[in-house]
């Protein structure tokens, strides 16, 4: 059984900014079944709903930061209504900045909100009311330290019921965090509806500048000489057949291709095409 394949449109952010509908058309032509949004580029949700319906793309999810909810005049309800109108089943928190991450089983308070935990509970309740599901999308920093023997990522999930918060495991960052993605996915059986397929090549240590992509400034430190490059799915170091088999075993409904930056000498659209070609043609997915 093969799962439907979507693409996280952050991978094509410059193209989306220049030509929103044209980029969606190209994604459909490549063979993707759905899309996951990372910003709406000033388009109204009704317009986007009409576009994806016309093209036959399923708008499965969207990455929405905690600041997006906090800074919206209409708060959580307005944000969730936007993505409900588009047709998204899932909304994912793409990361938590350091001051909003769990510290033991307590939560640091935010200057902008009474607390991350309370905000996420509110989002989860709003999702349930609308027939949607809240997800959390990890990076590798959730694996850097353990709290009472558990990774921060696991503490995060333990703080909520599976109905309130499900996982969107990013397999690249799981690997870099020190875990085997295909094995780690199995820990979230029936709590992993969406799995991110992300490939990479790396030697040495992880360059700190990568966090700049999500607006997190990391202090530069002396590190061993290293090489890191995001790669199209199937063109890097990941064991994609094993990851895909585990996603099915865990009860996933979708897999999502994501490539934070294009490989050297290629464009984001070329990388997206290589990823879906590998899945559909090489793996017969």
Residue 147: pLDDT over 90? no
Q: Does residue 209 belong to any structural domain of this protein?
A: no
Task: Quote the pLDDT of residue 212.
Answer: 59
Q: Does residue 210 belong to any structural domain of this protein?
A: no
Q: Does residue 242 belong to any structural domain of this protein?
A: yes
Task: Quote the pLDDT of residue 105.
Answer: 43
Give CA separation, 99 vs 26, 78, 103, 113, 174, in Å: 39, 25, 9, 12, 21
Q: What is the pLDDT of residues 53-96, one digit of tens each?
A: 999 999 999 999 999 999 999 999 999 999 999 999 999 999 98
Task: Quote the pLDDT of residue 131.
Answer: 98
Number of domains into which the chain is organized: 1
Task: Quote the pLDDT of residue 101.
Answer: 74
Q: What is the pLDDT of residues 222-264, one digit of tens each?
A: 444 678 999 999 999 999 999 999 999 999 999 999 999 999 9
DSSP state of 37: E
| Beta pairing, strands 254-257 & 5-8 | parallel
Residue 121: pLDDT over 60? yes
* Cβ pair 246, 185 in contact under 8 A: yes
Cβ–Cβ contacts within 10 Å for residue 150, how many? 12
CATH number of the domain within which 42 lies: 3.20.20.150
Determine the structural domain holding residue 271 and report its residue range: 5-198+233-282
Burial of 285 (0-12, 13-18, 19+ CB in 10 A): middle
């Amino acid at each position: 059984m093969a799962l439907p394949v979507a693409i996280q449109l952050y991978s094509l952010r410059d193209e989306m900014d220049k030509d929103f509908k044209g980029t969606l058309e190209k994604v459909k032509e490549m063979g993707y079944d759905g899309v996951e949004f990372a910003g709406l580029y000033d388009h109204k949700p009704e317009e986007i709903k009409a576009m994806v319906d016309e093209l036959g793309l399923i708008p499965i999810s969207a990455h929405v930061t905690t600041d997006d909810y906090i800074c919206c005049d209409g708060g959580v309800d307005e944000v969730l209504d936007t993505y409900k109108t588009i047709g998204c089943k899932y909304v994912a928190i793409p990361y938590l900045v350091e001051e909003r991450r769990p510290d033991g089983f307590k939560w640091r308070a935010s200057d902008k909100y009474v607390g991350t935990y309370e905000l996420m509970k509110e989002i989860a309740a709003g999702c349930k009311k609308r027939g949607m599901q809240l997800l959390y999308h990890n990076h590798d920093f959730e694996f850097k330290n353990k709290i009472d023997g558990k990774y921060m990522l696991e503490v995060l999930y333990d703080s909520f019921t599976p109905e309130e918060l499900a996982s969107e495991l990013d397999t690249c960052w799981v690997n870099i965090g020190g875990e085997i993605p295909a094995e780690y996915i199995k820990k979230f059986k029936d709590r992993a509806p969406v799995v991110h397929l992300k490939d990479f090549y790396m030697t040495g240590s992880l360059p700190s500048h990568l966090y700049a992509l999500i607006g997190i400034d990391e202090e530069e430190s002396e590190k061993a000489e290293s090489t890191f490059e995001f790669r199209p799915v199937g063109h890097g170091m990941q064991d994609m057949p094993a990851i895909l088999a585990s996603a099915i075993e865990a009860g996933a409904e979708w897999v999502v291709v994501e490539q934070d930056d294009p490989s050297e000498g290629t464009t984001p659209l070329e990388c997206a095409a290589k990823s879906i070609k590998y899945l559909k043609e090489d793996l017969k997915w």
